[in-house]
Structure 1
Amino acid sequence: MRLSRAEYKDIVRATEQLRPTRQCMKILKDRFPNHSQSTLLSIFSLEYQKRTKRTISRHHAADVVESHYQRYLNEAKARPAAPVLLEMANEVDLSPALMGRLILDRFLQDVSGEMHSKAVLNSMLKEPSLIPDQVLANNIYQCTINDCCYGPLVDCIKHAIGQEHEVLLRDKLKERNLSFLDENKLRTMGYDKTPDIILEVPIAVEGHIVHWIESKASFGDDYSHRTYLNEQFWSYWNRFGPGLVIYWYGFIGELDCQRDRGILLKDCFPTDIVTLCHTSHQQSPEKEDND
């Protein structure tokens, strides 16, 4: 979905007071019924991550962590069946998954008297049954399943969605009988930083030559698109020539301003494709007439 900057800003304003819980998506969908839930979730997730980066340092301060931890211990003791950590996270505007991580890290220090490795911490966050405290394990589980922006469940879902759209892209290319090399093949050939697809025979999309295609299962906002341009797209352009970026969940329409420089944006697989094969077919009747 291609949004005007004004439409995008309306959605952003609506996200400012929301917390990263599953319920927030119903609020956004009710307010913007014409936009897909995937697009709204992607925009909200991007905005909440920006908000978190601005505030996370204060939550990591030693005195704040200790205050959160002692409060958790007191409330969990008084209400062992309640989702205490989830309530605390929403109250202080911190991602539930990140709140769970802070408290679990502090708990493990309390139990063993020393810092645990990230591997141990991550394994317990992924599998709360490994936590040697049932009440805390239940709280961590509640935080994980109710967080739509952070945590192991979200990471797993994002990875699966990214893979799904890369498969979709490859299937679309095969349907059009377009010859291509995917990222895995390119790595075996020695390329270290590549787009998802390099076309062995370039195509034209809406009058623009395309040598490569990058799949992004997210919304393209100003910050993410600028980051991708600087860290990925321009290096692809320098190495492989002009290309196409598909933001499957939409983008700010005004960002599609680099076409003449060789970066084309779309929100779906293009239908206006001209191939070398197509051009040859168009020319063949003329050859027959000349014969």
Structure 2
Amino acid sequence: MKVQLYEEIVSEFKKFKGLSRDCAYMLIHKYPDVPATAIHGIISSEIRLKMMSARGRLSSRNVSYLDKYMTETNRPGVPTGIIVRMSAALNVCPSFLARMILEEYVETAGPPYTRADISKYMKDTTHIDNPRLAHEIYLCILYDDRNGMISDSFCSAVGFEYEVKLENYLQERNIPYLTEENLKVQGYDKTPDIKLEVPIAVNGFVINWIESKARFGTPSIHRSHLNKQYFSYWNRFGPGLVIYWFGFVEELIESIEDKFIILDRFPEDITYMNPLIELDNYQLDTEEES
């Protein structure tokens, strides 16, 4: 994806006010030529950035969102989904606002609490002693497709699916490899998803390792992985390959060509190293020298 198109989609996202699922619906229909997986990936990346500053933004208003919620519950005939509607109006994720309200409720209702207590209540809302609030928070968890337990589980499942997909590609082509688990058993700490036991070449570029990312490669996501992952793999194993299965901003390629390459699919133009040919060449060189 060209950076101009990416920035245009991000701009449309930032102008949208409401739930992320509604934003995704709007963007998918506005950009029919862009894969839906890319749209979802861009939204997820932008949601992550937005939520990093959301608590400070909401806290600075010096407003009790618990009081706002309680005021709504006391109005006759108000349907459920109060916190979901509040989050849409505030342009934050439902589970994020639900957690803030739950923290305030627990703080005012009883003894000191810990973050572990809040997490337990969010995972199982039946532990919340206020049935209406428990139901409202449960709805927030269901409606939140970007920032919560459901989205975390979904991302983990998709990530695992594409790691299996990558291993299937390698097995079909008889490319020997070690998985992240294999490498950790050997004592490595920071490891790619795949370490090739025999390097391959993709369009003439030597590949020693492969990292699978079941997401869209935005500039912010790519920057966050450079020092934490990719450069560490390069220092340890040499050049490699990063696959952003749902696409990426093309300009990401420019600055890292000598350390690893970026693709959005498993490569087709592969050159395999033949140890027998290499041995023959070595023997020929030795004979010529003698």
Q: Is the shorter-chain TM-score for this pair beyond 0.5, marking a shared fold?
A: yes
Say yes or no: does 1:167 pair with 2:164: yes
Give the gaps of 5 or more residues in structure 1: 284-291
**Residue correspondences, number:** 276
Match of 1:122 among 90, 114, 119: 119
Give the corresponding residue for 2:11.
13
Q: 1:245 aligns with which of 239, 242, 246?
A: 242
Q: Which amino acid aligns with 1:251?
A: F
Within a 5 Å distance, the mapping from 1:245-284 to structure 2 comes to 245-258=242-255, 260-277=257-274
1:1-291 map, 5 Å: 3-18=1-16, 19-61=18-60, 63-64=62-63, 67-78=64-75, 79=77, 81-114=79-112, 116-258=113-255, 260-277=257-274
For residues 241 and 105 of structure 1, do their structure 2 counterparts lie closer, same or farther at Cα, with a shift above 3 Å needed?
same
% of aligned pairs identical?
35
Alpha-carbon spacing, 1:278–1:11, altered in 2? closer, same or farther (3 Å): farther
Take 1:248 and 1:162, find their aligned partners in 2: how far apart are those partners? 10
Distance in 2, matches of 1:89 and 1:279, equals: 64
Contact 1:216 1:246 in 2 (8 A): yes
Q: Return the offset for 1:275.
A: 1.0
Partner of 2:174, secondary structure, is coil
CA distance in 1, matches of 2:185, 2:265: 28
- Displacement of 1:105 in angstroms is 1.2
Q: Is the 8 A contact 1:80 1:135 kept in 2?
A: no
1:231-260 CA-to-partner distances (Å, cap 9, x unmatched) read 211111111000000001110111112454
- What amino acid is the match of 1:201? V
CA RMSD of aligned residues (A): 2.0
Deviation of 1:112 (Å):
1.2
Alignment partner of 1:204: what SS?
strand
Give 2:70's aligned amino acid: L
Q: TM-score, normalised by structure 1?
A: 0.89
CA contact (8 A) 2:20 2:43 kept: no
Q: Which moved more, 1:28-37 or 1:105-114?
A: 105-114
8 Å contact kept, 2:208–2:237: yes
SS at match of 1:149: coil
- Which secondary structure state, in structure 2, belongs to the residue aligned with residue 63 of structure 1? coil
Question: How far off is 1:122 after superposition?
Answer: 1.2
Change in 2 beyond 3 A, CA 1:26/1:278: farther
From the superposition, tell whether residues 260 and 47 of structure 1 become closer, same or farther in structure 2 (CA, over 3 Å). closer
**TM-score if structure 2 supplies the norm length?**
0.89
Gaps of 5+ in 2: 281-290
Report the CA distance between 1:53 and its aligned residue. 2.2
Task: Report if the CA contact (8 A) 1:202-1:210 is conserved.
Answer: yes
Moved over 6 A (4+): none
**Per-residue deviation, 1:15:** 0.6
Distance 1:258 1:72, change over 3 A: same
